[in-house]
Structure 1
Amino acid sequence: PMSIVDYVVVHELVHLKEKNHTQKFWEIMGTVLADYEKRKEWLKVNGNYFEI
């Protein structure tokens, strides 16, 4: 789903500002994607169905 693609792209872009998954990292994620936790959970449940 495009919403998950958006999550992954934003996640990687936030790493340009905050290298680790600190509280600040997740605060930035929340300012860009208010529902990032829902998307993160979807990826946790469904991510193993994807191959690179």
Structure 2
Amino acid sequence: MAPLPVVDYVIVHELVHLDEKNHSKTFWNKAKMLITDYKKHQEWLKRNGHLLRL
């Protein structure tokens, strides 16, 4: 399982998509307001995402 902060990031990412349909600058600004260190979680997913299973 991913660390809980990474899970939180994924949830926030998807919730922001309810308002912003693409990954525009506005999208990332909104995501950053909710999770200021989102880039750290993106990096974790890039390095470890292939290890996750549903």
Q: How many residues align?
A: 52
Q: Which residue of 2 aligns with 1:31?
A: 33
Q: Which residue of 1 aligns with 2:45?
A: 43
- Structure 1 gaps of 5+ residues are none
- Structure 2 gaps of 5+ residues are none
Q: Calculate the TM-score normalised by the size of structure 2.
A: 0.92
Measure the CA separation in 2 of the matches of 1:48 and 1:25: 25
Higher relative contact order (CA 8 A, sep 6+): 2
Q: Which 4+ stretches in 1 moved above 2 angstroms?
A: none
Please, what is the CA RMSD of the aligned residues?
0.6
Q: Which residue of 2 aligns with 1:14?
A: 16
Q: Calculate the TM-score normalised by the size of structure 1.
A: 0.95
Q: Identity of aligned pairs, percent?
A: 52
Deviation by residue 1:7-36 (Cα, 9 ceiling, x = unmatched) = 000000000000000010000010000000
